[in-house]
Amino acid sequence: MLRWYTPKFKIMKSICITITLSLLFFYSGAQGIKDKNLQTLVETEYAFAAMAKEENTRDAFMRYLSDHTIMIINAEISKGKKIWQDRKPDSSLLIWKPMVADISASGDFGYTTGPSEYYPSRRQGEQVFYGSYITIWKKDAAMDWKMLLDIGVYPQPKPLLNSLKIPTLSETPKAKIRNSRLELLDYEKKFRTSLSDTSEKTYNSLVSTEARFLRVGLEPSTTKEKIKEIMQKEIDKASYSLIDGATSYAGDLGYVYGKVILTEKEKQTNGFFIRIYKKENNKDWKVVLDAIHQ
């Protein structure tokens, strides 16, 4: 999760069953969620955040990382455990909470996203840096939720809770879909080749009505108008290079990530992107989250 930000150093912190968590301000709020797997995911996220706040960030990350967790640090992809093993606990403060959580019909795969605040130290009056995090979660052999990938968007304005969109529920298959990962990777290519077509029909075929776009310097964009504005602006400015992706056992929820080069007034900026897809109407992949980390 690229949930972490300092000016010189960055560690950033679906079914599909979806829930908006804007009213869940306390860990106990997760108890009211009807779906058991979704409830455990939300509880895990709240426990993670509580440990970071009450103890320290380093030990909290070590508790929820897997051996395969990918994190993006200083424009490089790194193994999460290696990064945090080499760090010592310090007095910095990282606060976050999930605003949206989504899981697969198979209950083994999901993601969380929401606002975060980073304080270089816990002294009163310390400067705060705002951002958004996105974490992909997967259950391990012991059926515990562990992080697969963690990325964030920093800096952003102080979040406005009422700017977040309430996702909708969707039906999904409960049986495993063969080659769903390859299917998604192929669809990602279609998505990228279709970006130059900003027609209403193309947009509706690619982007979910519950989509959320996260960009540096902007509040989370959740309306159709704002998202189309971002896509149109980036038509000739963003060049994507896919690295990999994964899907749930049910093949209804997945993500892709890779490198992105942003060109603005002949200046190039290297970054990373993540796109989370879920199937709607049991057949159509749609983007539900799109984020760029610079």
* 126 token code pair: 């310390």
pLDDT of residue 177: 65
pTM above threshold 0.75? yes
pLDDT of residue 124: 87
pLDDT of residue 10: 43
pLDDT of residue 59: 96
207: nearest Cα among 219, 223, 184, 220: 223
pLDDT of residue 86: 84
CA separation for the pair 75, 10 (Å, rounded): 9
* 168 token code pair: 């909708």
The sign of the CA dihedral 264, 115, 242, 280 is: negative
pLDDT of residue 161: 62
- Taken in order of first residue, the domains within the chain and their CATH numbers are 4-163 (3.10.450.50), 180-293 (3.10.450.50)
Place of tokens 């080659």: 179
Per-residue pLDDT of the chain (294 residues; tens, 9 = 90+): 446 544 444 444 444 555 444 444 444 445 556 778 888 999 999 999 999 999 999 999 999 999 999 998 767 788 888 889 888 999 999 999 999 999 998 889 999 999 999 999 999 888 999 999 999 999 999 999 999 999 999 999 998 765 433 355 445 555 556 789 999 999 999 999 998 887 899 999 999 999 999 999 999 999 999 999 999 999 889 999 999 999 999 899 999 999 999 998 889 999 999 999 999 877 889 999 999 998
pLDDT of residue 35: 79
